[in-house]
């Protein structure tokens, strides 16, 4: 397998500018939206805390500062507020989950999780219709699905 053209990897922090543009365009946030980052984000209704790379947190953040400092927790919350359906649609507009269109015979398209994909993959129904990991690894965690395991 050619990992450069066939490997499918989570986008990590490279997805943050796209989440920002999507959320701004969809009216989920404004350039003045401010969130406080204590160094972690907790999925509503869950005990699990998702840590930021900066363990002590970034403090008060707006969209500009969150991009400058690559603040994970800001984007966890913004992607959660976007919801799985809206974020999936917006990310598709940026090419996530699609082929690049360049001449690579062995290229893989990757995956942009949708509500249907998540239900099929994890055999769970998405209850909140929201991403649970903020765009770093969208849909790979299952904290927002029902718990009938």
Tell me which residues are annotated as active site: 13
Alpha carbon 8 to its chain centroid, in Å, reads: 15
- Cβ burial of 25 (10 Å; 0-12, 13-18, 19+) is exposed
Q: Sign of torsion, CA 71 74 79 82?
A: negative
Contact 94, 121 (CB under 8 A): no
């Amino acid at each position: 397998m050619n990992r450069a053209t066939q490997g499918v990897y989570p986008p990590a922090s490279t997805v943050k500018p796209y989440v920002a543009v999507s959320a701004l365009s969809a009216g989920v946030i404004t350039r003045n939206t401010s969130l406080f980052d204590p160094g972690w984000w907790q999925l509503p209704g869950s005990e699990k805390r998702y840590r930021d790379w900066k363990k002590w947190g970034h403090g008060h953040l707006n969209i500009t500062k969150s991009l400058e400092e690559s603040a994970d927790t800001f984007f966890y919350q913004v992607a959660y507020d976007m919801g799985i359906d809206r974020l999936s649609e917006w990310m598709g507009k940026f090419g996530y989950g699609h082929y690049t269109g360049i001449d690579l015979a062995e290229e893989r398209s990757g995956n942009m999780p949708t509500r249907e994909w998540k239900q099929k993959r994890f055999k769970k129904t998405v209850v909140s219709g929201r991403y649970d990991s903020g765009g770093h690894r969208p849909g790979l965690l299952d904290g927002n699905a029902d718990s009938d395991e």
